[in-house]
Structure 1
Amino acid sequence: MNSINLSDPFSLSNGQIIKNRLFKSAMSEQLGDKQHNPTRGLVRLYDSWAKGGIGLSVTGNVMVDRSALGEPKNVVLDEKSDLALFSEWTDAGKKNGSQIWVQLNHPGKQIPKFLCDEPVAPSAISLGRGLEKGFNTPRALNETEIHEIITKFAISAMLSKQAGFTGVQIHGAHGYLVSQFLSSRHNQREDKWGGSLDNRLRFVLEVYRAIRKAVGDDFPIGIKLNSADFMKGGFTEEESMQVVEKLSDNGIDLIEISGGTYESPSMMGSKNKTEPVKESTIKREAYFMDYMEKVRKLVSTPLVVTGGFRTAPAMNEALNTSATDFIGIARTMAVDPDFPNKLIKNPNYGMSLTVPTTGKPALDKIGMVGLVWYEHQMWRIAAGKKADPNLSALGVVFKTILSAGLHAFKKRRA
């Protein structure tokens, strides 16, 4: 049996060929303009990533509803969008034979207070673990509103195809609206959209089906899902596997696995403070490979595992377990856009990432240093500069808080 290498192409069921097994997972770039269209910076950033050798890039979360923004500078794709600007973005992302898919998202209740007085969610349940201080308690969606949001996903997908994206990904992870519907912790509805898992997964299935109807059978649709929420009473690993099976049965083209929410951010490296990363996980460099091996026994749908990979040997080893078809990378791309080229050229290549810190753990948490430091690296690339591995974490936090503070005093334009 021949071994699989990072450089090997992969053909999806619709015939679309992805030139290698390296998959840039979504990172929030925060590079939308005042009308929430893509900026020239986004074009420059994805041009760099395409030239850097990535097989498939997934954009940062693009919102389907401009009245529901997760962050101030989100890009929105709807009937008011300037598709010419989106086409410039997709043209850049398709250079060098790369694919670019748009990640479509609705934040649900994960909208900061300064952006929205009354967010919506499956149920009127606030975020916990102190996050309720920065996020307002949501209002429960009614039946009509649920169908309106499903339609918005479909419209955004149709427009993304027109703009030149080569696929779409539904954001069903990290505690956003799709994830909220799936979680019994956040979805306590008593109608057909809540209760049993069959009811809780109805929303994501209807979103997928509406998108499929809008874009046709030949346009790839993927999804990013949590392996679990790692929260008491939340979305479990067993439930996640059932959702994967159901989506696979319905013909979804690609499934990316991550994990966690704002309340329990395992996507940032560890499930919680008291449960350290396993030694086996450290060795394999992958946070969710144990889960992937179980899922592979259930479905043949192409899979992506994201989180933790740093070296070519570990990536190739993961591919040769057959538990995943693609290796998801993100932060390494923010530090070095040429990372894929280096991995493919040198089978022993690797990158070590230091954990950015202000030196004050409380400030690191408040400032979300583990996310915004990489966001600032992307801004540097977008501005035509090189990423800076020595960028000051304290300076990054100061700039981020200052920016958020200014937005808090502005009336939302969207």
Structure 2
Amino acid sequence: MTITNGHTPSTATGPVLGATDVCATGHPYVTEPVAYDAILLAGFGGPEGQDDVIPFLRNVTGGRGIPEERLEEVATHYRHFGGISPINEHNRQLKAALEAELASRGITLPVVWGNRNWAPYMKDAVVEAHERGFRNLIAVATSAYSSYSSCRQYREDFAKALDETGLLGTVHIDKVRQFFDHPGFVEPFIEGVRAAMLDLAAQGIGPAETHVMFATHSIPTTDAERSGPSDIDFGDGGAYAAQHRAVAAVVMAAAAATPSLVEPVETPWSLVYQSRSGPPSMPWLEPDINDAIAELDKSTVKAVIIVPLGFVSDHMEVMWDLDNEALETAQQNGFTAIRVPTPGVNPRYVTGLVDLVMERVTGTPVAERPALTELGPWYDICRPGCCENVRAGFKPAAAGVAP
């Protein structure tokens, strides 16, 4: 079966854990309407005070054998901001923005919020949904790309929450497709890069003298290689890297067409990584953004535009790793640097998320689903073997066909 994204996904079907009846068969795309009761906003979670920092980091790194001294090192980033991660507040704002968008469109779907690593936990959200009489949930995870940590782990969270609450079979959780190339996610980045290029032009720095760095979270290369469906070869870095490269190319093509730039010329760009946390012996995706900045040719490059392409909001790893470390590295190397905004609660992003929900509510045909790269639109039901974590193996996961 050839789909519009040019890939041939596995046609293997089978029971999908915790799914609604329509999605339980495991077909890659769901084009039959589904009657959902509510939206489950699934976040990463973050500490909201100094006493929360170490317990939160233990939640994040549980089972990985990370030494306490490394946790203390990372804790300094949070303590620099009073022990408060902005991510929970961003999710409160996103929840409110989603509710306002839904209300403006006359869509009567409540939004329930649950986190992976801090209160309100996913289990709390499932209990709340059940107590409010909701049985069929459509989940929106605050992560756009395919990998273990950005997709499958959320699906494991859903399965674990259903199991621990005893609501498996009573409450059902489906998930919107990965939205890395949905216009609602991509257009805010296009807008940000265009604004940065115009800002630099006003300072006398042209596109050819600027290097655009698209930054995303580094992950272990073994996880990257197994991101996306296991039966499709996406090249180095798996689907995770391929999706980022494809979106970056779209952003650059759109930015080059900025009318206010006198002579649109090719601007060099690269995909870089940040926030590595694994041991030196474990290969992670490279290059690190700071290394990449330091290696730029100072005879031709005058400015760096940093695009946090892998992130949906300005959480800690944007504020610390980019706004502190990367901008400081750029300054030390004599470059003018601008970090463009994340989508946050940009109206295009919020509208796009509701559009993704409505695809599943109405059963939108695949050919009518917007996608800005040849990789999309992505699959509604994750394929067998998708986004394996080699170290932990396959755990029960909702919203996908079991391996």
TM-score, scaled to structure 2: 0.31
Q: Which structure has the bigger radius of gyration? A: 2
Q: RCO higher in 1 or 2 (8 Å CA, sep ≥ 6)? A: 2
TM-score, scaled to structure 1: 0.30
